[in-house]
Structure 1
Amino acid sequence: MNDELLELQTQLSFQEDSVQQLNDVVTRQQGDIEALRREVSLLKQQIQLMISNQLEGEEGNVPPPHY
């Protein structure tokens, strides 16, 4: 009985360690995901600004209608 209890405690200890390791990985990945979301948001803003600037530049290069 005592050996069985010791075996269960050992297994529980390994499982707790595994759960902690998995939690650490998930926590790190969540941080990575949040950083990537911020980067994508910044890239979208930069692309929109570039498109807006390009469209404004094209409007200035349009010849007058009498040409």
Structure 2
Amino acid sequence: MAIDVSSQLVEVQTQLAFQEDMLNALNERVVAQDLEIRNLRRTLELLHEQMKQKNASAEDGQIHEMERPPHY
């Protein structure tokens, strides 16, 4: 009976160690994804600001009207 309990304890410890390793790996991935999302949001904000500036300058008449393509 003592051998059975001892082997079960070893099995539980092994599973716990594996789960801790998996949890750490998942945590690292979540942190990396969070950083990537923050970078993407910042890029999106910058692009949005650039579009607003271009639209504002177009309304001020600084951008020429689009020319017709040569095939028209």
Per the shorter chain, which TM-score range? Answer: 0.7 to 0.9
Report matched runs for 1:1-67 at 5 Å.
1-57=5-61
Aligned-pair identity (%): 38
Give me the TM-score of the superposition, normalised by structure 1. Answer: 0.84
Deviation by residue 1:20-53 (Cα, 9 ceiling, x = unmatched): 0100000000000000010000000000000000
Q: How many aligned residue pairs are there?
A: 58
Unaligned runs of 5+ in 2: 63-72
Unaligned runs of 5+ in 1: 59-67
Give me the TM-score of the superposition, normalised by structure 2. Answer: 0.78
Q: Which has the higher contact order (CA 8 A, sep 6+)?
A: 2
